[in-house]
Amino acid sequence: MSALGRVGAITAKEFKQLARDRVTFGMIVMIPLMQLILFGYAISTMVRHIPVALVDNSGSGAARVISEQVRVTQVVDIVSHYPTAAEAEAAIIAGTVRAALILPENLTQRAAGGEPVGQWLVDGSDTMVSSALLGLRTMPLHLEAGVPPGAYQASTPSFEVALFFNPERRSEVNIVPGLTAIILTMTLVLFTAVALVRERERGNLELLITTPIHPLELMVGKLVPYIFVGLVQVTIILGLGRLVFNVPFQGEILSLAAVTLPFIAASLALGLLFSTLAETQMQAMQMTFFILMPSILLSGFMFPFDAMPLPAQYIAEILPATHYMRLIRAVFLRGAHAAQLLPDILWLLGFTVVMLAIATKRFRKSLD
């Protein structure tokens, strides 16, 4: 057989092997398709429909006109009304809203004098969101009679703006806590995704078969060591972020642990499920990459969650990284307490239980 024939034989073998590897073949199709959809449809830097609160201390017709003009810009959606600025600030800390518009009692007099008619309280930890809200500072207002013509032009501030948590608008303040979610997703899912596969490839699964261990006990035993690995990684990332980049830590250690442990458990449980689906370590790594890219692009780490279309937001809500991104930024940057963040914490705990149940059901103490 000639050299060309031998090369052709090896090539034919590789094609047949690739066709039998359904996971790899699926990745060949799904990865470019996923990238195209994410970058072309789901990702946008134009932030719109930011959830905000309104505190109307004026109760006047001018206040209603102003709130309507703010709403029609489509930059914000007024989703909540609070009687006091303190309650609105608490909602910002909890992450219920990203900003609050405060309209004072003397709004009409301020408008007649050409002064700023209100104040925006803004969560400045997300620089893209704060930039979009800062654009409303000089928006032209068209008010009722009694306001001098031209009192509010583009060069005259219509609102005052107070940036909370990141008044200097430093990008590292937003990136460092978010990076915790991405690194934990990448490492913990990968570590546990290859766990059972590695046991099978090394022949250690035979030893497990002969033991009286229950599948759930095996799964939990696989998880526990990596919980400490996750805690070490969190300490390194946030500690260096504080020391090197001067990212302020506004919260409490207990609240940080209360939001981090459920995410670590959710990531490990997802990795174990991948471990029961993959036949080789390469397949396990491919599955990890498949979940990692949406976690980076859809969780709010690189692009604002509020800028995504609703279908992309629904997909993002399935990802554990999306929920932890909110939790870690709320605790670390805004000083929120774990009790204020129960919906996301409970979701992560529920995700962990479901993934563990599926992984346990799929695990078979056999070599097949």
Q: Could you report the per-residue pLDDT of 23-54, keeping only the tens digit for each?
A: 666 666 666 776 677 666 666 777 888 999 99
Higher pLDDT, 207 or 122: 122
Whole-number Å distance between alpha carbons of 288 and 197: 14
- What's the rounded mean pLDDT across residues 57-77? 90
**How many angstroms separate the first and last alpha carbons of the chain?**
38
Phi then psi dihedrals of residue 302, to 5 deg: -100, -35
Taking each helix axis as running N to C, give the angle between helix 171-193 and helix 281-298, from 0 to 180 degrees, rounded to the nearest 10: 160
Q: Tokens in use for 190?
A: 């990968």
- Complete domains list, the chain, with CATH: 50-164 (3.40.1710.10), 170-362 (no CATH)
Q: What is the pLDDT of residue 310?
A: 83
Mean pLDDT of 331-337: 95
Residue 67 reports pLDDT greater than 80? yes
Pairing mode, if any, of strands 99-103 and 118-123? antiparallel
What's the rounded mean pLDDT across residues 45-66?
A: 89
- The reported pLDDT for the residue numbered 205 is 64
Q: How confident is the model at residue 367 (pLDDT cuts 50, 70, 90)?
A: very low
Q: Is the pLDDT of residue 14 over 90?
A: no
Is pLDDT above 70 for 368? no
Give the pLDDT mean for 330-349.
95
Residue 27: what pLDDT? 64
Question: Residue 279 has what pLDDT?
Answer: 80
Dump pLDDT digits (tens) for 116-147.
889 999 998 888 889 889 988 888 887 654 45
- Answer yes or no: is pLDDT of 286 > 60: yes
Look up the pTM and report it.
0.84
Sheet containing 76-81: which strands, arranged edge to edge? 76-81, 50-56, 99-103, 118-123, 159-164
